[in-house]
Structure 1
Amino acid sequence: MPRWWDTPAGTYSRTWELHDGPGDAEAWMDTAYEDQTVVTQVAGVHADHAEAGTVVKGRPTSSSTLPSLVVQMFRHAEIHDGADVLDVATGSGYSAALLARRLGDGRVTSVDVDPYLVEAAAVRLDAVGLRPKVLAADATGPLPGEYDCIVSMVSVRPVPASWLAALRSGGRLAAVIANTSLIVTAGKCDDGGAEGRVEWDRAMFMPTRSGRDYPPGIRGLFDTVWDAEGEEVTRGRYPVLDVTYNWDLPAMLEVVCPGIEHHYEEGDDGRRTARMVHADGSWARATALSDDPPTVHQGGPRRLWDVLDEVRHHWLQHGELPLRGAHARITPDGTIHLRRGRWTATIG
């Protein structure tokens, strides 16, 4: 990984600066040996192809996952001697390298939707004497073989049906549900589906994509309702919070009402404002000073802040949300059915 992208020091934004390893050997070594995710591609622009001094804006589209998380996912997949493993999302090739060193080249297949990532990873793996099968393929479509374990370094929703078809009887998969921190592990069943659970653990990965970049999102909808009066104006039950600065709340929201985008800001005077938008035209804005009960404006076909308050109420009432540890049943088409106690949900 000779070049990578990073956000400017002290900022949190979608602006990325290019770093060149050979041009700064000390920073290169520090980055290589830190347990962190290192972004290699942003908005379809790979660091290998960028001019010196380039700054780009957009969402990361590939990275080298932090080493501890790679190993964590391998543990969840219960990879064992003699297993044929599919590594989904080649990225820099790091996860394929670990698998090939541990199991042998012939046991490892790694796929990525981006032909350049596959090409670069194969060359660099070969340079260190590792030659797993590395292929350009859309992991949500047909897969090139059958496997005892499938482990994914991208997130999916639902589980691709092709994974279940390619998983051998008794095989095991480990994946994260897109836009959540939920790790689902499951073993192949005789009916072609799989059964397992949501692990008592958490991870986040970029979602799968089909092109060089992700399609435009719905964040532009914030502009159209930024200060709108709202079809309904009420007083909220709970303080305004930054939903995304959390693991379980956004995961639960994505299960019960997928596709919500969030925006949060806090002024110097302590005034907090949280906004929510959805592609169906639903929106919400909650404003309050510090932890006072907020004034909530909502519009569209659904009341998004009410959905959030229902989730928060369940959390307060039961002391936790029911996601982690939930039983997971995956049907052959990839639909995930979750159950914990009386609570059920479907991720299709």
Structure 2
Amino acid sequence: MDVDWEGHARRLADTVLRPESRWWKPIASTPRHIFVPRWWERAAGGRVLRDGATDVDTWLESAYADATLVTRIGPVHADHAEPGQVITSGRPTSSSTLPTLVVTMYRHAMIGDGCRTLVTTGTGYSTALACHRLGDELVTSVDIDDYLVKAAADRLRTLGLHPHTTVCDLTGALPGQFDRIVSTVSVRPVPRSWLNALRPGGRLVTTITGTGLILVADKTADGGAHGYISHDGASFMTTRHGDDYDDTAPPAPVWEASDSDGETESTSRYPLLYVPDSWAVRSMLELETPGIEHRTQRGDGGGRTVWMAHPDGSWARASANGPRESPTVHQGGPRRLWDTLEDIRDRLNTRGELPVYGSTVTITPDGETTLTRGRWSATL
């Protein structure tokens, strides 16, 4: 289908970059809609399938907005869904990342001319940007999903782009040696295979699973890496090893218990906080107690309740009637999740910031990843 997309792409480039940027031309000259012919859009009760060919105006508006477009929920790719299909459950497993975030990751990688670069595939849009910047012969694009790799390669080919494409588990052996590794899926910890695949002095850029932290590190002479946590924030889907994520969520009995009185009741020192609303607090909590899931609900009278639950059976529930009221907290299970959250908020309020952003990163040759800032440290 012939679509007049060039003006939309240029406007997107002008919105997110200045013309002097080396990434302006790749965004202005890449037809993003080609990579997202169908996508899943949020709707009441779940996500509804959108088909670009049946509504070209919406297609262009969505594809050339600086927004992430989800293309896969659980094992169901939008390309294979039924027209009008609605999905009410499942986690996103692939997407086209918003262009500003793709460029942010590439900027942190300091990609220069001649850098042999590995990127993650997704829809193939970010691969296209890297090809326009470097030349497709220097770009390798990988994904765990054979359909994603094939579809992206086919769509790239229509643009005359022929990067190396490979189906592989990103946490396993990588197909070659690279000057840069840029992952738009999150990991924890950094896979040792990345260190093996990085050339001396090479740089890796990724995010830490469950956090809003961009990790940037350069390979060191001992085979490890040294770097920092960026002050920019970002959150990506985590790596998966099959059609869908492994089920590591808190089991139903934990959520059921979270509506009980629990083993302790207290009054919080601070106003009610839904942790995902604060990237810094969420990141700090995830580093200290990984795997917590969060839920929230507003009452008819303006009150609000938040829940925290962990696969080990720990849970917390906090409720307040208004934004300035100290919430009542119930907790149960082997750990006191709300107490851990309160300790983090104590640090934030007494010191004015949390140490996660701007911290130093040290990765051993075995992949052990440690963040440090002052006297604080956390090992992934």
* TM-score of the pair, normalised by structure 2: 0.88
Q: Pick from 309, 312, 319 the counterpart of residue 345 of structure 2.
A: 312
Q: Please, which of 48, 64, 85 is the counterpart of residue 17 of structure 1?
A: 48
Letter of the 2:56 partner, please give it.
A
Displacement after TM superposition at 1:299 (Å): 1.2
What pairs with 1:110-149 in structure 2 (closer than 5 Å)?
A: 110-149=141-180
Give runs of aligned pairs for residues 160-239 of structure 1, distance below 5 A.
Answer: 160-216=191-247, 217-218=249-250, 220-239=252-271
- Give the Cα separation in 2 of the matches to 1:125 and 1:203: 26
Instruction: Encode CA deviations 1:295-327: one digit per residue, 9 max, x unaligned.
Output: 211111111000000000000000000111001
Counterpart amino acid of residue 347 in structure 2: H
Residue among 275, 296, 301 paired with 2:307: 275
Which residue of 64, 84, 89 maps to 2:96? 64
Tell me how far apart the structure 2 counterparts of residues 161 and 105 of structure 1 sit (CA, whole Å). 26
Query: In structure 1, the residue corresponding to 2:223 is in which secondary structure?
Result: coil
Distance in 2 (alpha carbons) for counterparts of 1:95 and 1:227: 43
Aligned to 2:10: none
Structure 1: how far apart are the matches of 2:328 and 2:203? 48
Partners in 1 of 2:117 and 2:256 — Cα distance? 47
Q: What's the offset of the Cα at 1:23?
A: 0.8
Instruction: Give CA deviations for 1:245-270 in whole Å, capped at 9, x if unaligned.
Output: 12111111001111111111221223
Q: Please tell me whether residue 242 in structure 1 is matched to residue 253 in structure 2.
A: no
2 CA distance for matches of 1:208 and 1:63?
13
The Cα shift of 1:222 comes to 4.8
Query: Match of 1:263?
Result: 295
The one-letter amino acid of 1:220's match is: A
SS, match of residue 126 in structure 1: helix
2:91 and 2:39 mapped to 1: Cα distance? 14
8 A contact 1:153–1:175 mirrored in 2: yes
Note the aligned Cα RMSD (angstroms): 1.2
Supply the distance in 2 between the matched residues of 1:225 and 1:306 (Cα, whole angstroms): 18
Of 86, 98, 107, which aligns to 2:129? 98
What count of residue pairs does the alignment treat as equivalent? 342
Q: Structure 1 residues 31 and 96 mapped into 2: Cα distance closer, same or farther (>3 Å)? A: same
Contact 1:36 1:65 in 2 (8 A): yes
Secondary structure of 2:232's counterpart equals coil
1:215 deviates by 2.4
Write out per-residue CA displacement over residues 225-281 of structure 1, whole angstroms, 9 at most, x where no aligned residue: 132111122222112121111211111100111111111122122322111111111
Deviations 1:167-212 (CA, angstroms, capped at 9, x unpaired)? 0100001100011110010100111110000011111100000111
Residue 285 of structure 1 and its aligned partner are, at CA, apart by 1.2
Tell me the SS of whatever aligns to 1:53.
Answer: coil
Distance 1:271 1:24 in 2: 40
Does the 8 Å CA contact 1:219/1:261 hold for their aligned counterparts?
no
- What residue number does 1:55 align with? 86
Choose from 28, 31, 39 the match for 1:4.
39
Q: Does the CA-based 8 Å contact 1:181-1:202 persist in structure 2?
A: yes
Q: In structure 2, what residue type is equivalent to 1:29?
A: L
Alignment identity in percent?
54
Which of 281, 284, 305 pairs up with 1:252?
Answer: 284
The 1-side partners of 2:176 and 2:289 are apart by 35
CA distance in 2, matches of 1:316, 1:197: 24
| Aligned match of 1:299 | 332
Counterpart position of 1:41: 72
| Structure number having the greater helix percentage | 2
Mean Cα deviation higher: 170-179 or 227-236: 227-236
**AA paired with 2:50?**
H
- Retained in 1: the 8 A contact 2:250–2:313? no
Asked whether the 8 Å contact 1:221–1:277 carries over to 2, the reply is no
Corresponding residue SS for 2:170: coil
Which residue does the alignment assign to 2:13?
none
Structure-2 change in CA distance of 1:221 and 1:165 (3 Å): farther
Structure 2 unmatched ranges of 5 or more: 1-35
Residue identity matched to 1:315: L
Contact conserved, 2:41 with 2:50, CA < 8 A, in 1? yes
Q: Matches of 1:123 and 1:275 in 2, distance apart?
A: 44
